[in-house]
Amino acid sequence: MIIDRFLDWFYEFMSTMLGSLWQIVSNFFYGVVGVFNLPKYIGITGQYKNSFTALEWILTIVSFILTYAVVLGIVALIVLLIRKYVRFRKTLVGNEDLLEEIAECHRDVLRLTMEKEKILAMKAGAGALVGAGDTFNITENNNTEKPEEKKDAQPTGSRFYRLTLVDEKYAEYVPPVYDASMSLSELCEDLRNFACSNAKLYYEIRTIRLMIAGLASTKMVILQGISGTGKTSLPYIMGKYFINDTTIAPVQPSWRDRTELFGFFNEFTKRFNETEVLRRIYEAGYQDDVNIIILDEMNISRIEYYFAEMLSILEMPDHNEWKLEIVPSSWPNDPKRLERGLLKIPENVWYVGTANNDDSTFAISDKVYDRAFVINLDSKGMPFRAPETTAKKVAYSYIESLYKKAQTETPISQETLDKIEQLDLYVIEHFRVAFGNRILKQLKLFSPVYVACGGTELDAVDYLLMTKVFRKFEALNLSLIRDEIKGLIAYMDTLFGRGMMKECTAYLLRLEKTY
C-alpha cells in the first residue's frame, strides 16, 4: 500500500535525523569526558615510563599541567562570557521595562494635565460665556442648563477677557500730572534715597547709575550675583518709586516656549489664556508710565526657549516693527490694540531678569549677554542714612528725553573711541575675540547717560568692556593664554593710563588666578 511505503520512508528519515542529532550530543559528551579521562592518560604514560629520563619526566609533568591549565582557562572564560551575557540580558530587559514604565507615567501625566486643563477651562469658560451674553434654555422636565446650539464656533464675547477689561479701564483715561523737574543725576540720588528710607534697601550709587544708564542702551537688563544682594528688590523698589508696581514673572524649569510668558489660545473654550505679563505689556500701550517686568530666576530654564522672540523684536531699530503675533487671525471682538492678531510692544516697558550662577541653572548664552546689559551684584550695600524721600510719577517719555539729551550733548569722545579701536585690534590679534558693532553701539548709548547720571566716561568704558568683551575669555583655554593676560593689562595701562581700567584689570586678574 502507498501508506506503508510512506511510513517506511518516514521511519528511516526520522531515524537518520534523530541518530545524527544524538551523535552530535553524544560526541560532545564523549569529547568532554575524553578531555578529562585521567585513567587513559595514565595508561598512555605507563607505556613510556620505563624509557623516560628524568628530564623527560619533568617535561611530561609540566606539559600535563600546562595543557590542563589552558583547557580549564578556556572553560572558565566560556562560563564567564555566558554569565556576562545573561547579566547583560537581564539588565537590558530591566532597562526596557523601566523605560516602558517611565513612558507610561509620562502618558498618565499628560492625560491628567489635559483633563485638569479641560476642567479649569470649563470652570473659567462658563463664567465668561455667561458674561458674554450666551442664552440658556431650561427644560421643564429637569433643572439642567445647556447653551443654545450655535453654528458659529466663535463665542459672542471677546476671547481676551483680561485685555478687554484693560480697554474698559482706559476708555475715559485722563493722564496724570508727571514730574519733569529732575535731571538724571538727581533721579539716581532720589531713587537711592527712596529705597533706603522706605524699604531699608541699601544700594551703592554706582549700581543705581548702572541700572538707569544701562536701560538707555537696551530694554533688557540682567542682574546676576550671589543670593541676598537685592537683585529682585532693585527693580521692585523702582516700580514703587515710579508709582507703578512691578510685574514679577517667576520663571519655572518647565518653560519651553513663549506661551509660558504670554499665554495661549484654548481651542476647547475658544478663549485665550492670558498671563499677567501679556496684560502688563498691553496696558503699557495706553499710558506713559515706566513699566517694569521682572523675569525672576530667568536662567532656571533656557532663556532662548521662552524669550528668544522678544530678544529679536527688541533688537529692531524701528520701534514700529516691534510687533508680536499673539493669535494668527483677528476676531470682531478682539481688544482694540490687537491689530490682526499682532500686539505692538510699547517702548515704555523695561525687562529685568535676575540670574543665579549655580548647578540648578543654565548658563546664559552669548546671544543673550550681547543683547542685554549685565549688572553684577556681588556684595551687599552698606547701610547709610537717607532723608525721607517720596515716590515720583515720572513719565517714560521724559526719561527718554533725558537719555537723548545726554547722548547729544556729551557723546563719547573721539579720543576714547580711537583707543577702543586700538584695543580691539590688540584683542583680536592675541585672543581672537572681537568687540562687534552691537557692543560699540551700546557703548555710545550707555556712556553719555552714565556721565549724565554722575559717573565718568572712562568708568563707563571700563565696565562695559569688562562685561561685554573680556567676559568672553571664559570660553577660551586660559591655560594657553595666561601669559597674554598680563600683556593685555599692560597695554590698557598704556592706552588709558595706569590703573584707570580698574574693573577690567580686576576681572582679568581673577581669571588668571582661577584658571
111-165 pLDDT, tens digit per residue, is 776 666 666 555 444 444 434 444 333 333 333 333 333 333 444 478 999 999 9
Q: Which comes out higher in pLDDT, residue 20 or 110?
A: 20
What is the value of pTM for the model shown?
A: 0.69
What are 276's strand-pairing partners?
none
Residue-wise DSSP of 421-453: HHHHHHHHHHH-----HHHHHHHHHHHHHHHHT
Confidence band, pLDDT 50/70/90 cuts, at residue 367: confident
The tens digit of pLDDT for each residue in 25-57 reads 777 777 777 777 778 777 777 777 777 787 877
Query: Residue 349 has what pLDDT?
Result: 97
Band of the pLDDT at 92, cuts 50, 70, 90?
Answer: low
Average pLDDT for 470-497:
86
Name the 3-class secondary structure at 343.
strand
Tell me the three cell numbers of residue 344. 505692538
Pull the grid cell for residue 365. 548664552
pLDDT digits (tens, 9 = 90+) for 311-365: 999 989 898 999 999 999 889 899 999 999 999 999 999 999 999 877 778 888 8
Cβ neighbours for 490, distance < 8 A, ≥ 6 positions apart: none
Class of domain 161-395: alpha beta
511/474 Cα distance (integer angstroms): 8
Q: Give percent of the chain with pLDDT exceeding 70.
A: 86
How high is the pLDDT of residue 96? 64
Q: Are 442 and 469 in contact (CB under 8 A)?
A: no
Sequence letter at residue 216 = A
Report residue 114: phi and psi, to 5°: -65, -40
- What are the backbone angles phi and psi of residue 274, rounded to the nearest 5°? -85, 140
pLDDT in tens, 428-437: 988 888 887 8
What are the tens digits of pLDDT across the range 250-300?
A: 999 999 999 999 999 988 888 999 999 999 999 999 999 999 999 999 999
